[in-house]
Amino acid sequence: MRLDVISIFPQYLAPLELSLIGRARREGLLDLRVHDLRDFTQDRHRTVDDTPYGGGAGMVMTPEPWGLALRQVVRSGKGEPPPRLVVPGPGGAPFTQAMARALAAEPWLAFACGRYEGIDERVYEHAAQDLGLEVSVVSLGDYVLNGGEVAVLAIVEAVARLLPGVVGNADSLVEESHEDGLLEYPVYTKPASWQAAPGVRRDVPPVLLSGDHAAIASWRQQQRLERTAARRPDLLHPSQAVAVAPGADALAGLDLAVATPADAAELMTLTRACWAPEMAQQGTCGAAQETLQDVIAGLAVWRTWTVRSQGRLVASVRTRPSPDDPSRWQIGRLMVAPDLQGRGLGRALLAFAEADAPSGTTTYCLDTSTRSQTNLRMFRKAGYRVATPQGAQHGTVVVSKARR
């Protein structure tokens, strides 16, 4: 990737010679060129600013040196498609991880570091209309800096580290903050128990020492949700920020309703999301392969409940008397959206499904995957035991519980 930076303080970009970005430059992964805007001035004072038309405080950067600098940068490409021009400014679009990934896909970026009250607006028009550049004004946040150089340092680091070979372990980029809309979970290293002060020890959470990778993954996901809700609730869909009460109260504040065919598309999406791990393990799963018409047909023979938060479908369960024995109450498709699992919603929804049974019910029963240890543990805690080692589909088991 090639990067060109135009600034009146080229020495401000010296940190880009350091650390991983500096190494990427030395290894040829990054071609970064810094240009002094004053080299494109025409007077002996090397003037780059003047008073604003219409009055007002401060100075405005004049268009002539910018026009010359941008034209030289474009011409240096020797016929290559022009770069995308990024101009840091408080009036721009917020810079995000998604934007960093989009910029990392560009072969050539140019940065214009404004100062004072900004760059004459005609420079933007010239760059887009006369030079054919795609111009993006980008803001680091809702505050004002003295110039664009600090923003360029941040943007270049965020973009360059996404290029192949810049970060040694590419896996370290996967679970970082903002990669999927959530903040990163807390991290720990040795020692497992740290004497932080006299009489005060601070220990690593036991789950991280357990060796139970499924439990660790669940803990980390929960930590990401809680940290995002506490620090950046604006990143969450309102349903993800739901405060779940313990026990049966976990459904409090959520909207429960009997599903209709209008819910079928969302139910199919939720089913596939919840059965994805089973699909990965077994390569097939009837529930995840159902068509929209199959889901609609199921609504006719099961009473299906939807659970919504702020309009989003977050959970579902369906119930019916067994066709072979009406005293047996079948519970099926107990589903909680993956990002909300581990909060007690599944256990509360199971209790709700049991309470939905008619008075003649003697037994609750349901099918579950033999490979889903999390579900099997939940059902065991709820009093269910294996009744039939082979369920309706391959790889499932029937568990049941007597009604008290």
User: Which residue has tokens 């049974």?
Assistant: 357
Phi first, then psi: give them for residue 279, nearest 5 degrees.
Answer: -60, -40
Q: In order along the chain (404 residues), what is the average pLDDT of each group of 10 residues?
A: 95 88 86 94 93 90 96 94 95 91 94 94 96 95 92 93 74 51 86 94 94 86 80 73 60 91 92 70 60 92 93 93 94 88 87 94 90 82 86 77 92
pLDDT at position 257, please? Answer: 95
Architecture (CATH level 2) of domain 181-236: Orthogonal Bundle (1.10)
Going by C-beta distance under 8 Å and a sequence separation of 6 or more, which residues neighbour residue 46?
38
Give the model's pLDDT for residue 172. 46
pLDDT at 222: 80
DSSP letter string over 270-331? HHHHHTHHHHHHHS--TGGG--HHHHHHHHHHSEEEEEEETTEEEEEEEEEE-SS-TTEEEE
Q: How far is CA 73 from CA 6, 33, 84, 124, 377, in A?
A: 9, 10, 11, 15, 63
DSSP string, 248-262: GGGGTTSEEEE--GG
User: Residue ranges of the domains in the chain?
Assistant: 2-173, 181-236, 247-402
What fold, for 247-402? Aminopeptidase (3.40.630)
Half-sphere exposure of 194 (CA within 13 A, CB side): 9
pLDDT value, residue 84 = 96
Crossing angle between the packed helical segments 149-160 and 97-104, to the nearest 10 degrees:
70
* CB 368, CB 397: distance < 8 Å: yes
Superfamily of domain 2-173: SPOUT methyltransferase, trefoil knot domain (3.40.1280.10)
DSSP annotation of 130: I
**Domain 247-402 in the same topology as domain 181-236:** no
> Looking at residue 147, what is its pLDDT?
94
* First-to-final CA distance of the chain: 68
pLDDT of residue 248: 54
Question: Given CA atoms 205, 207, 208, 210 in this order, what sign does their dihedral have?
Answer: positive
Q: E strands within 324-373?
A: 328-336, 363-369
Q: What pLDDT, on a 0 to 100 scale, did the predictor assign at position 354?
A: 95
215, 205 Cβ separation under 8 angstroms: no
